[in-house]
Amino acid sequence: MAEAHQAVAFQFTVTPEGVDFRLSREVLKHIYLSGIRSWKKRLIRIKNGIIRGVYPGSPTSWLVVVMATVGSSYYNLDISMGLVYYIQRWLPEGRPSRTPYTRRLFSMAIFSTGVWMMGIFFFRQTLKLLLSYHGWMFEMHGQTSHLTRVWAVCVRLLSSRRPMLYSFQTSLPKLPVPSVPATVHRYLESVEHLLDDEQYYRMETLAKEFEEKTAPRLQKYLVLKSWWATNYVSDWWEEYVYLRGRNPLMVNSNYYVMDLVLVKNTDVQAARLGNAVHAMITYRRKLDREEIKPVMALGLVPMCSWQMERMFNTTRIPGKDTDVLQHLPDSRHVAVYHKGRFFKVWLYEGSRLLKPRDLEMQFQRILDDPSPPQPGEERLAALTAGGRVEWAQARQAFFGSGKNKAALDAIERAAFFVALDEESHHYDPEDEASLSLYGKALLHGNCYNRWFDKSFTLISFKNGQLGLNTEHAWADAPIIGHLWEFVLGTDSFHLGYTETGHCLGKPNPVLPPPQRLKWDIPEQCQAVIESSYQVAKALADDVELYCFQFLPFGKGLIKKCRTSPDAFVQIALQLAHFRDRGKFCLTYEASMTRMFREGRTETVRSCTRESTAFVQAMVQGHHLNKDLQHLFRKAAEKHQNMYRLAMTGAGIDRHLFCLYVVSKYLGVESPFLAEVLSEPWRLSTSQIAQFQIRMFDPNKYPKHLGAGGGFGPVADDGYGVSYMIAGEDTIFFHVSSKFSSSETNAQRFGNQIRQALLDIANLFQVPKADG
């Protein structure tokens, strides 16, 4: 029990001679080093706060201003126009400014600091004004206006100094509140072709009544919120769309991310995990120190980095009415699940981050541990996969004190959760089903080997393949994608492995082994766990997931068609869905609003009048290619314009959602808003971001491709589709549906997507690769 003795810093014994203290020098040393590390982090945060707070200024620029002011005085030049003399008059005559010369120096320093701070404020406001310009997004490629060129030069000048991660946060503009008439007009335009004349007339009447009677009052409150809050959408979106949801997180909310699928670095499970965990904690350290470069659109326009703050040390805590996100400033361990047992693995030895080889050794110790699960322990995580109310009640009843509270704290206060699976999964191009099985394992596992409440679960399969299952409330997919790109690039190109597949270096065998978490789970709690497991298993068994790699072409051919790759795929999805279901439906495509402070997402309603016209012409089969090309280009241009409007704050759905929230607060009934917010999204789609950070040259290493990730269907009788245009020659698709729906079939729809892509490409008669 060496680890138990090291858990206390001192022991004492009462003897006739008095109290005999026995100190543990090793533990005291670790406590001392831990304190040093904590103070270092505090000092780094203070320093970063100062540097970030004066961006685009710097301490050096302050010194230049002071020197210019002092230097000018030697040539009898008063650049302050009398202000230095005025400040000097108000300085006290006692110490430390008892001489006129000292008082003059103080007054010049005060004046210089004031000028410097005013300059920073002016530059920040100018940058915010410049970043509010979005005309560049609506200009055709290669047709940049003179105004946009001048704008780009000004933005580059004001942001030329090397920024830290959060340097631009205060310079980002606020998300604007669209006008009600504009939003209502765009909404009606988005549904007109989906409704018959009678349905559309009814909706138009409701919309007109809402616009004239109810909306003005709601809009005033929303505008007031936009003035006061940093972002008028994000807090309500997080609370009402995510945290107040009472359905299981598994499948319904959480999503998954896949590993590199065409290359393999090692088959050793513990080694791959050692490198990955080390890379993640290295990323967290860079995040804490703000050393990560902000994501920049076109290398020029900064994206909001706010969501990254809660990437690590974050857990969703269940509640009866609403969940809360618990975020800690730091965590020195990860929680690990293997064969029904939970472990706590320390990431540091004193103040030093464990090396990959040490982490490999720790994970291998868990894999070699023969101890059986404690009663109720094996399926404990099913509580996080079932209903939120049941989990909240069980947490309050059975995990509020004693062993269970301490063990649960170890999980919820971990940096992240690690699942060591006994199964092997990978993508075999010769076996298409292997990719779908891999996706299913990441989406829900066996319903009790993922902790679905953690910000993310790192999943390690027996053959060294990795993946993520990510909780959605704290951030959107591009944020976890940024981390994952760093991890995969660091693992492949910076850390590496020995010839036998182990991490580089030698392990430290004296490290205390991982700590087994102790539970005391009564039979009543075990019954709740079993009930949650049955709910989760039924949900998991109902999910059909079809993942495939589309090989004939990628963005290389699409660009030859002179259209955006995203518009190309979205129109193909409309054609595939019409062929599959024989009708059009409301379609959701996620776009980002991160050009605004604390922006998250907006909906692009990608089933437009123009795309339906193209699809109908394609299905009729008697139109000339020239006419079809014209219809396709109109549909693509419309889609791109809708996407740009969504990104620039002129979307439809977030505005209507916030008006609905205000109406509920005020107790105002709106038939129009109630109907809009209840409309089902039977086709929910999302493009997966890639190459946000350049860890390697994709042209030099074309096989280093991830397959993206996916999510469950939003509607019971609908499809969920995510796709990643992974390179010049390939696209990965993840299609989900439910077996319980007689109207949907994920594999059938996937095959329709394949055919639709080929048919559209044939319109432009561009040669394609085989496959």
Query: 624 burial class (0-12, 13-18, 19+ CB within 10 angstroms)?
Result: exposed
The residues, ordered by sequence, that sit 6+ positions from 396 with a Cβ below 8 Å of its Cβ are none
Tell whether the torsion through CA atoms of 96, 100, 103 and 109 is positive or negative: negative
Cβ-based neighbour number of residue 46 at 10 Å: 10
Query: 386 burial class (0-12, 13-18, 19+ CB within 10 angstroms)?
Result: buried
Three-class SS string for 227-250? HHCCCCCHHHHHHHHHHCCCCCCC
The half-sphere exposure of 557 on its side-chain side, counting CA atoms within 13 A, is 24
- The phi and psi torsions of 514 (rounded to 5 degrees) equal -55, 150
Query: Which residue's structure tokens are 């003179």?
Result: 146
- Residue 114, Ramachandran bin (φ over 0: left; ψ between -120 and 50: alpha; else beta): alpha
503 vs 506: CA distance, rounded Å: 8
Distances in whole angstroms, Cα of residue 239 to Cα of each of 44, 244, 321, 504: 32, 6, 11, 45
Tell whether the torsion through CA atoms of 368, 369, 371 and 373 is positive or negative: negative
670 vs 657: CA distance, rounded Å: 12
452 vs 249: CA distance, rounded Å: 7
Three-class SS string for 125-188? HHHHHHHCCCHHHHCCCCCCCHHHHHHHHHHHHHCCCCCCCCCCHHHCCCCCCCCHHHHHHHHH
DSSP state of 457: E
Candidate list 278, 333, 472, 704, residue with the active-site label: 472
- Whether the upstream peptide bond of residue 552 has omega within 30° of 0, thus cis, is no
151 vs 167: CA distance, rounded Å: 20
Helix, strand, or coil (residue 80): coil
Is 472 tagged catalytic? yes
- Whether the upstream peptide bond of residue 294 has omega within 30° of 0, thus cis, is no
754 vs 771: CA distance, rounded Å: 11
289 vs 275: CA distance, rounded Å: 21
Residue type, 697: D
356 vs 363: CA distance, rounded Å: 11
The residues, ordered by sequence, that sit 6+ positions from 42 with a Cβ below 8 Å of its Cβ are none
Cβ(60)–Cβ(374) under 8 Å? no
Residues taking part in catalysis = 472
